[in-house]
Structure 1
């Protein structure tokens, strides 16, 4: 693999901070990379995240006063919005489910209601939290009909993250939450903004990547469009940071558009089988 201008990412390590954990499990979450990412995400008036996911980055930001947090997963955004306006109601509803509904039959019943679109906004937010913590590996996956389709995780006593939810709710008054794709979100970026993008990673050669956080997935054309949107935002005065895999064509794409590239040691696995899991390098691109 050719890395060209990729930096080694071996700068002296500062004393690790105590980071706030997100309350959701999230495939590709960046909690384990926060020490490294903090070096590359600059200060600014507002942090914009077009792929907010589990929220590890904004929850631990001490460099930004305001946040624009977006995701194409409408259920994720609804949960965040409901925790901003009615946290006690969401917690009460979710706690009831966590305390009394921990069988495969209970899980299937809640999933069926969730997919039938029969819940109000608070109930749906609570159900999303329940499904996230009770489903297999916390994988929030949807089929082409936009129905949640992950099975029961068989966990004996899923953790109810009330402390983490409270920390999230305490920050929410500085946040705007949007159910939107990256094009619409990044179009709002300009002078004084920092854009941090954590798209579904481009699969490494010989591996199968997970790209279906919402119906439709995230293909190569989307990777290219994301870079083009970020370059346009940089021309409007925003600063850009993107995380991705070290797939050769990702490196080539980012180099083509003038990004500075850095490697960090990821804690993600590149195989779904426990016996063959190994850590992989993550790429951080800045512009």
Structure 2
């Protein structure tokens, strides 16, 4: 398993062994919900289109892609000089208030904030301000090796800041689609907005349309009655995944999830 740059609650890093069983070969993997990029880092597609509605997440990935060494040096200095709670909130304030901050500084601060935030939360308020609280750790980890590995894999990738509707509109023949959206009833935040039932339905409708057209589609989500019904035409595989937050007491930090896999296209159907 290749580790990711970000801690990221809900990361697929620990379930890639199961997920890879369901991801078919293709010319390009399209991910509308980038998250920690665990899927990109643990698959081997010729090309990737990785998207997210969070501009700071995409900026971090682009800065590593284009400026790996200066970004690494800058971020390492931020980590080394700001190890306590007071520093965290000071950097968070600068990150939120300094509209003239350069993109590379913003990426370094974003990496620092997510690595020092409670459970790795990446949380924004409705005004776009990062508001995850600080979490004290014995020794904050600087992901130097993970950045290096990401920069190599990123040579195959295109990173865009877009919502899932814009991203899925770019699907073409030969692509494989993997969606890991905010989960029904659990991870409902979609950057500064919520990802409620209406968005779950919109996403499922688009994925069903792509699947009907012959595009291979795989999606992860909570194992709820809503998700079971929305993906009723998909093959659904149940898994138990580790979860650091948002799990009911007594569950041992495990959550029931499903992997929905589009069935093979019927004879005569043509990919979009």
What TM-score do the two structures reach when normalised by structure 1? 0.87
Spell out the pairing of 1:160-239 with structure 2 (5 A cutoff). Answer: 160-203=142-185, 209-239=186-216
Spell out the pairing of 1:6-21 with structure 2 (5 A cutoff). Answer: 19-21=1-3
Distance between the aligned counterparts of 1:271 and 1:112, measured in 2? Answer: 26
Give yes or no for the alignment of 1:54 onto 2:36: yes
Distance between the aligned counterparts of 2:221 and 2:63, measured in 1? Answer: 30
Deviation at residue 156 of structure 1 after TM alignment: 2.8
Distance between the aligned counterparts of 2:253 and 2:135, measured in 1? Answer: 23
- Segments of structure 1 that go 5 or more residues without pairing to the other structure are 1-18, 204-208
Give yes or no for the alignment of 1:250 onto 2:227: yes
Distance 1:272 1:36, change over 3 A: closer
Deviation at residue 131 of structure 1 after TM alignment: 0.3
Deviation at residue 128 of structure 1 after TM alignment: 0.5
Distance between the aligned counterparts of 2:251 and 2:261, measured in 1? Answer: 32
**What is the SS of the residue equivalent to 1:127?**
helix
Between 229-238 and 264-273, the greater mean CA deviation after superposition: 264-273
Q: Paired residues, what number?
A: 261
Between 26-35 and 111-120, the greater mean CA deviation after superposition: 111-120
Distance 1:274 1:156, change over 3 A: farther
Spell out the pairing of 1:28-39 with structure 2 (5 A cutoff). Answer: 28-39=10-21
1:67 corresponds to: 48
Contact 1:263/1:281, CA 8 A, preserved across alignment: yes
Distance between the aligned counterparts of 1:147 and 1:20, measured in 2? Answer: 30
**What is the SS of the residue equivalent to 1:39?**
coil
Give yes or no for the alignment of 1:95 onto 2:76: yes
1:14 corresponds to: none
1:282 corresponds to: 257
2:241 corresponds to: 266
Contact 1:142/1:213, CA 8 A, preserved across alignment: no
Which of residues 23, 41, 56 is equivalent to 1:41?
A: 23
Deviation at residue 273 of structure 1 after TM alignment: 7.0
- How large is the Cα RMSD of the aligned pairs? 1.5
Distance between the aligned counterparts of 2:252 and 2:246, measured in 1? Answer: 5
Give yes or no for the alignment of 1:112 onto 2:93: yes
Give yes or no for the alignment of 1:84 onto 2:61: no
Per-residue CA shift, 1:92-112, capped at 9, x if unaligned?
111011111111121111111
